[in-house]
Amino acid sequence: AKDPVRVLVTGAAGQIGYALVPMIARGIMLGPDQPVILHMLDIAPAAEALNGVKMELVDAAFPLLKGVVATTDAVEACTGVNVAVMVGGFPRKEGMERKDVMSKNVSIYKSQASALEKYAAPNCKVLVVANPANTNALILKEFAPSIPEKNITCLTRLDHNRALGQISEKLNVQVSDVKNVIIWGNHSSTQYPDVTHATVGDKPVPELIKDDEWLKSGFISTVQQRGAAIIKARKLSSALSAASSACDHIRDWVCGTPEGTWVSMGVYSDGSYNVPAGLIYSFPVTCRNGEWSIVQGLSIDEFSRKKLDLTAEELTEEKALAYSCLS
Protein backbone atom coordinates (compact mmCIF):
# COMPACT_ATOMS: atom_id res chain seq x y z
CA ALA A 1 0.00 0.00 0.00
CA LYS A 2 1.14 3.56 -0.69
CA ASP A 3 2.12 5.85 2.19
CA PRO A 4 -0.49 8.52 2.85
CA VAL A 5 0.06 11.97 1.36
CA ARG A 6 -0.56 14.90 3.70
CA VAL A 7 -2.73 17.59 2.15
CA LEU A 8 -3.19 20.98 3.80
CA VAL A 9 -6.33 23.02 3.16
CA THR A 10 -6.36 26.49 4.71
CA GLY A 11 -9.69 28.28 5.20
CA ALA A 12 -11.07 24.75 5.43
CA ALA A 13 -14.24 25.76 7.26
CA GLY A 14 -15.23 28.09 4.42
CA GLN A 15 -17.40 27.41 1.40
CA ILE A 16 -14.71 26.17 -0.95
CA GLY A 17 -13.06 24.21 1.85
CA TYR A 18 -16.33 22.44 2.62
CA ALA A 19 -16.65 21.35 -1.02
CA LEU A 20 -12.97 20.52 -1.38
CA VAL A 21 -12.14 18.30 1.58
CA PRO A 22 -14.57 15.48 0.66
CA MET A 23 -13.22 15.49 -2.89
CA ILE A 24 -9.69 15.05 -1.56
CA ALA A 25 -10.81 12.32 0.84
CA ARG A 26 -12.55 10.50 -2.04
CA GLY A 27 -9.37 10.39 -4.12
CA ILE A 28 -10.44 12.93 -6.72
CA MET A 29 -7.32 15.04 -6.22
CA LEU A 30 -4.62 12.37 -5.93
CA GLY A 31 -6.22 9.26 -7.34
CA PRO A 32 -8.37 6.38 -6.12
CA ASP A 33 -5.45 4.38 -4.72
CA GLN A 34 -3.68 7.19 -2.87
CA PRO A 35 -4.40 7.36 0.88
CA VAL A 36 -4.47 10.87 2.33
CA ILE A 37 -4.20 12.64 5.66
CA LEU A 38 -6.07 15.94 5.68
CA HIS A 39 -4.65 18.94 7.51
CA MET A 40 -7.31 21.62 7.90
CA LEU A 41 -6.46 25.12 9.10
CA ASP A 42 -8.78 27.96 9.88
CA ILE A 43 -8.82 31.01 12.14
CA ALA A 44 -10.05 30.97 15.76
CA PRO A 45 -13.57 32.34 15.06
CA ALA A 46 -14.10 29.38 12.69
CA ALA A 47 -12.70 26.73 15.05
CA GLU A 48 -16.05 25.28 16.03
CA ALA A 49 -17.25 25.08 12.43
CA LEU A 50 -13.94 23.48 11.48
CA ASN A 51 -14.48 20.84 14.11
CA GLY A 52 -17.93 20.22 12.61
CA VAL A 53 -16.32 19.58 9.22
CA LYS A 54 -13.94 17.14 10.89
CA MET A 55 -16.92 15.32 12.44
CA GLU A 56 -18.55 15.02 9.03
CA LEU A 57 -15.34 13.63 7.55
CA VAL A 58 -15.37 10.95 10.24
CA ASP A 59 -19.05 10.25 9.54
CA ALA A 60 -18.45 9.89 5.82
CA ALA A 61 -16.12 6.93 6.54
CA PHE A 62 -13.89 7.60 3.53
CA PRO A 63 -11.72 4.50 3.01
CA LEU A 64 -8.76 6.56 1.72
CA LEU A 65 -8.79 9.02 4.61
CA LYS A 66 -6.12 7.93 7.10
CA GLY A 67 -6.28 10.89 9.44
CA VAL A 68 -7.56 14.42 9.99
CA VAL A 69 -5.74 17.30 11.67
CA ALA A 70 -8.11 20.22 12.33
CA THR A 71 -6.38 23.17 13.91
CA THR A 72 -6.06 26.93 14.23
CA ASP A 73 -2.29 26.63 14.66
CA ALA A 74 -0.39 27.25 11.41
CA VAL A 75 2.67 25.30 12.56
CA GLU A 76 0.65 22.20 13.41
CA ALA A 77 -1.26 22.56 10.14
CA CYS A 78 1.84 22.88 7.97
CA THR A 79 3.95 20.17 9.56
CA GLY A 80 4.91 17.47 7.09
CA VAL A 81 2.47 18.46 4.35
CA ASN A 82 3.21 17.35 0.78
CA VAL A 83 0.50 19.43 -0.88
CA ALA A 84 -0.83 22.78 0.36
CA VAL A 85 -4.05 24.29 -0.98
CA MET A 86 -4.34 27.83 0.30
CA VAL A 87 -8.01 28.81 0.31
CA GLY A 88 -8.06 31.01 3.41
CA GLY A 89 -7.91 34.70 2.85
CA PHE A 90 -9.41 37.99 3.85
CA PRO A 91 -12.58 38.58 1.81
CA ARG A 92 -13.36 41.79 -0.04
CA LYS A 93 -15.95 43.60 2.01
CA GLU A 94 -18.09 46.45 0.81
CA GLY A 95 -16.46 49.80 1.21
CA MET A 96 -12.98 48.39 1.71
CA GLU A 97 -10.14 49.93 -0.26
CA ARG A 98 -8.15 47.63 -2.51
CA LYS A 99 -5.06 48.48 -0.52
CA ASP A 100 -6.70 47.44 2.75
CA VAL A 101 -7.67 44.01 1.39
CA MET A 102 -4.22 43.62 -0.12
CA SER A 103 -2.56 44.57 3.12
CA LYS A 104 -4.55 41.96 5.10
CA ASN A 105 -3.72 39.24 2.60
CA VAL A 106 -0.07 40.17 2.34
CA SER A 107 0.29 39.70 6.07
CA ILE A 108 -1.60 36.36 6.01
CA TYR A 109 0.50 35.02 3.11
CA LYS A 110 3.73 36.27 4.60
CA SER A 111 3.18 34.40 7.85
CA GLN A 112 1.85 31.25 6.20
CA ALA A 113 4.87 31.26 3.88
CA SER A 114 7.16 31.11 6.90
CA ALA A 115 5.20 28.24 8.46
CA LEU A 116 5.28 26.27 5.20
CA GLU A 117 8.93 26.94 4.62
CA LYS A 118 9.89 25.73 8.08
CA TYR A 119 7.53 22.81 8.57
CA ALA A 120 6.20 21.44 5.26
CA ALA A 121 7.71 18.31 3.71
CA PRO A 122 10.56 18.92 1.25
CA ASN A 123 9.26 19.51 -2.27
CA CYS A 124 5.79 20.48 -1.01
CA LYS A 125 3.56 21.64 -3.88
CA VAL A 126 1.59 24.81 -3.17
CA LEU A 127 -1.62 26.00 -4.84
CA VAL A 128 -3.02 29.41 -3.90
CA VAL A 129 -6.78 29.83 -4.42
CA ALA A 130 -7.58 32.82 -2.21
CA ASN A 131 -7.78 36.16 -4.00
CA PRO A 132 -5.86 38.04 -5.21
CA ALA A 133 -4.52 34.56 -6.01
CA ASN A 134 -1.57 35.46 -8.26
CA THR A 135 -0.25 38.11 -5.93
CA ASN A 136 -0.84 36.06 -2.77
CA ALA A 137 1.22 33.31 -4.42
CA LEU A 138 3.97 35.79 -5.22
CA ILE A 139 4.12 36.97 -1.61
CA LEU A 140 4.21 33.35 -0.47
CA LYS A 141 7.13 32.73 -2.82
CA GLU A 142 9.01 35.77 -1.53
CA PHE A 143 8.69 34.73 2.08
CA ALA A 144 9.42 31.05 1.56
CA PRO A 145 12.73 31.36 -0.29
CA SER A 146 13.73 27.76 0.36
CA ILE A 147 10.64 26.41 -1.41
CA PRO A 148 11.57 26.17 -5.12
CA GLU A 149 9.61 28.71 -7.19
CA LYS A 150 8.45 25.82 -9.41
CA ASN A 151 6.45 24.57 -6.43
CA ILE A 152 4.35 27.70 -5.95
CA THR A 153 1.33 28.15 -8.22
CA CYS A 154 -2.08 29.78 -8.27
CA LEU A 155 -5.45 28.62 -9.54
CA THR A 156 -6.66 29.63 -13.00
CA ARG A 157 -7.97 26.17 -13.80
CA LEU A 158 -11.49 27.22 -12.91
CA ASP A 159 -11.32 29.91 -15.61
CA HIS A 160 -9.84 27.33 -17.98
CA ASN A 161 -12.66 24.89 -17.26
CA ARG A 162 -15.23 27.67 -17.64
CA ALA A 163 -13.82 28.38 -21.10
CA LEU A 164 -14.07 24.69 -22.03
CA GLY A 165 -17.66 24.71 -20.79
CA GLN A 166 -18.64 27.75 -22.85
CA ILE A 167 -17.16 26.29 -26.05
CA SER A 168 -18.87 22.97 -25.42
CA GLU A 169 -22.25 24.68 -24.98
CA LYS A 170 -21.79 26.89 -28.03
CA LEU A 171 -20.86 23.98 -30.32
CA ASN A 172 -23.12 21.48 -28.60
CA VAL A 173 -20.26 19.01 -28.13
CA GLN A 174 -19.05 17.10 -25.08
CA VAL A 175 -16.81 19.19 -22.85
CA SER A 176 -14.31 16.31 -22.82
CA ASP A 177 -13.86 16.78 -26.59
CA VAL A 178 -12.76 20.40 -26.23
CA LYS A 179 -9.02 20.86 -25.73
CA ASN A 180 -6.29 23.44 -25.34
CA VAL A 181 -8.00 26.66 -24.44
CA ILE A 182 -5.65 29.00 -22.58
CA ILE A 183 -6.14 31.41 -19.71
CA TRP A 184 -3.41 34.04 -19.77
CA GLY A 185 -2.52 36.30 -16.88
CA ASN A 186 -4.32 37.29 -13.74
CA HIS A 187 -7.19 35.44 -12.06
CA SER A 188 -9.26 38.59 -12.35
CA SER A 189 -11.43 40.30 -14.91
CA THR A 190 -8.37 41.17 -17.02
CA GLN A 191 -7.57 37.49 -17.62
CA TYR A 192 -7.49 36.56 -21.30
CA PRO A 193 -9.35 33.37 -22.25
CA ASP A 194 -7.79 32.45 -25.61
CA VAL A 195 -9.25 29.91 -28.05
CA THR A 196 -6.84 30.61 -30.90
CA HIS A 197 -5.20 27.20 -30.43
CA ALA A 198 -8.18 25.29 -29.03
CA THR A 199 -9.53 22.24 -30.82
CA VAL A 200 -12.51 19.92 -30.90
CA GLY A 201 -11.54 16.56 -32.37
CA ASP A 202 -8.47 18.09 -34.04
CA LYS A 203 -10.46 20.87 -35.72
CA PRO A 204 -9.61 24.44 -34.68
CA VAL A 205 -12.32 25.99 -32.50
CA PRO A 206 -12.32 29.36 -34.35
CA GLU A 207 -13.11 27.52 -37.61
CA LEU A 208 -15.90 25.52 -36.01
CA ILE A 209 -17.47 28.51 -34.31
CA LYS A 210 -17.24 30.83 -37.32
CA ASP A 211 -18.29 33.73 -35.13
CA ASP A 212 -15.27 35.91 -34.57
CA GLU A 213 -17.37 38.61 -32.99
CA TRP A 214 -18.58 36.23 -30.25
CA LEU A 215 -15.10 34.79 -29.68
CA LYS A 216 -13.57 38.24 -29.32
CA SER A 217 -16.18 39.73 -27.03
CA GLY A 218 -19.12 37.68 -25.70
CA PHE A 219 -17.08 34.58 -24.99
CA ILE A 220 -14.28 36.47 -23.29
CA SER A 221 -16.54 38.57 -21.11
CA THR A 222 -18.70 35.57 -20.16
CA VAL A 223 -15.64 33.71 -18.88
CA GLN A 224 -14.25 36.82 -17.19
CA GLN A 225 -17.57 37.60 -15.49
CA ARG A 226 -18.67 34.05 -14.71
CA GLY A 227 -17.77 34.35 -11.02
CA ALA A 228 -20.03 37.40 -10.67
CA ALA A 229 -22.85 35.62 -12.54
CA ILE A 230 -22.65 32.70 -10.08
CA ILE A 231 -22.79 35.08 -7.12
CA LYS A 232 -25.86 36.75 -8.60
CA ALA A 233 -27.61 33.41 -9.11
CA ARG A 234 -26.57 31.59 -5.95
CA LYS A 235 -26.14 34.58 -3.65
CA LEU A 236 -22.87 32.85 -2.80
CA SER A 237 -19.63 32.61 -4.73
CA SER A 238 -18.70 29.54 -6.74
CA ALA A 239 -17.53 26.79 -4.47
CA LEU A 240 -18.09 23.37 -6.02
CA SER A 241 -16.52 24.38 -9.32
CA ALA A 242 -13.64 26.12 -7.54
CA ALA A 243 -13.01 23.01 -5.43
CA SER A 244 -13.26 20.68 -8.42
CA SER A 245 -10.82 22.74 -10.45
CA ALA A 246 -8.36 22.85 -7.53
CA CYS A 247 -8.42 19.02 -7.65
CA ASP A 248 -7.85 19.12 -11.43
CA HIS A 249 -4.90 21.47 -10.97
CA ILE A 250 -3.12 19.28 -8.41
CA ARG A 251 -4.00 16.00 -10.15
CA ASP A 252 -2.57 17.09 -13.48
CA TRP A 253 0.50 18.60 -11.80
CA VAL A 254 1.24 15.40 -9.84
CA CYS A 255 0.02 12.75 -12.32
CA GLY A 256 0.79 14.57 -15.59
CA THR A 257 -1.28 16.06 -18.41
CA PRO A 258 -2.50 13.72 -21.17
CA GLU A 259 -0.38 13.60 -24.33
CA GLY A 260 -1.25 16.48 -26.66
CA THR A 261 -3.18 18.40 -24.00
CA TRP A 262 -2.21 21.42 -22.00
CA VAL A 263 -3.90 23.16 -19.07
CA SER A 264 -3.67 26.65 -17.56
CA MET A 265 -1.77 27.27 -14.33
CA GLY A 266 -0.61 30.44 -12.62
CA VAL A 267 3.17 29.98 -12.43
CA TYR A 268 6.29 32.02 -11.90
CA SER A 269 7.08 33.77 -15.17
CA ASP A 270 10.47 33.16 -16.74
CA GLY A 271 9.78 35.77 -19.41
CA SER A 272 8.11 33.35 -21.86
CA TYR A 273 5.88 35.13 -24.40
CA ASN A 274 7.45 38.41 -23.29
CA VAL A 275 5.53 38.32 -20.04
CA PRO A 276 7.64 40.15 -17.44
CA ALA A 277 9.71 37.68 -15.43
CA GLY A 278 8.96 37.60 -11.72
CA LEU A 279 5.17 37.71 -11.91
CA ILE A 280 2.91 34.79 -11.12
CA TYR A 281 1.05 34.65 -14.43
CA SER A 282 -1.26 32.06 -15.96
CA PHE A 283 0.28 30.20 -18.90
CA PRO A 284 -0.52 27.07 -20.89
CA VAL A 285 1.51 24.27 -19.29
CA THR A 286 2.08 20.56 -19.66
CA CYS A 287 3.05 18.48 -16.63
CA ARG A 288 5.31 15.45 -16.38
CA ASN A 289 7.00 13.70 -13.45
CA GLY A 290 5.49 16.22 -11.05
CA GLU A 291 6.82 19.29 -12.88
CA TRP A 292 5.07 21.79 -15.10
CA SER A 293 6.60 23.47 -18.10
CA ILE A 294 5.26 26.36 -20.12
CA VAL A 295 4.14 25.36 -23.64
CA GLN A 296 6.50 27.18 -26.00
CA GLY A 297 6.22 28.46 -29.54
CA LEU A 298 2.51 29.24 -29.80
CA SER A 299 1.72 32.04 -32.21
CA ILE A 300 0.31 35.18 -30.59
CA ASP A 301 -1.66 37.47 -32.89
CA GLU A 302 -1.98 41.20 -32.40
CA PHE A 303 -5.35 40.97 -30.63
CA SER A 304 -3.96 38.42 -28.17
CA ARG A 305 -0.74 40.38 -27.64
CA LYS A 306 -2.67 43.37 -26.33
CA LYS A 307 -4.65 41.18 -23.96
CA LEU A 308 -1.53 39.42 -22.66
CA ASP A 309 0.08 42.80 -21.99
CA LEU A 310 -2.98 44.31 -20.33
CA THR A 311 -3.29 41.55 -17.74
CA ALA A 312 0.50 41.64 -17.18
CA GLU A 313 0.24 45.37 -16.46
CA GLU A 314 -2.45 44.73 -13.88
CA LEU A 315 -0.25 42.11 -12.20
CA THR A 316 2.71 44.46 -12.18
CA GLU A 317 0.56 47.06 -10.42
CA GLU A 318 -0.75 44.49 -7.95
CA LYS A 319 2.80 43.44 -7.19
CA ALA A 320 3.79 47.05 -6.50
CA LEU A 321 0.74 47.50 -4.27
CA ALA A 322 1.59 44.30 -2.37
CA TYR A 323 5.18 45.45 -1.83
CA SER A 324 3.99 48.86 -0.65
CA CYS A 325 1.95 47.03 2.00
CA LEU A 326 5.09 45.28 3.24
CA SER A 327 6.93 48.44 4.17
- Report the catalytic residues: 187
Answer for which of 9, 29, 46, 53 binds ligand NDP (CB under 6 A) is 46
Residue with smaller CB distance to ligand NDP, 35 or 132: 132
Residue with smaller CB distance to ligand NDP, 7 or 208: 7
Site string for ligand NDP, 4-33 (x = CB under 6 A): ------xx-xxxxx----------------
Q: Is 88 in the site for ligand NDP (CB under 6 A)?
A: yes
Q: Is 89 in the site for ligand NDP (CB under 6 A)?
A: yes
Q: Is 190 in the site for ligand NDP (CB under 6 A)?
A: no
77 is in an annotated binding site: no
266 is in an annotated binding site: no
Nearest to 128 by CA among 250, 257, 244: 250
Q: Is 91 in the site for ligand NDP (CB under 6 A)?
A: yes
16 is in an annotated binding site: yes
Site string for ligand NDP, 222-261 (x = CB under 6 A): -----x---------xxx--x-------------------
Q: Is 47 in the site for ligand NDP (CB under 6 A)?
A: no
Residues lying near ligand NDP in the complex (CB under 6 A) are found at 10-11, 13-17, 42-43, 46, 87-92, 108, 129-131, 133, 158, 227, 237-239, 242
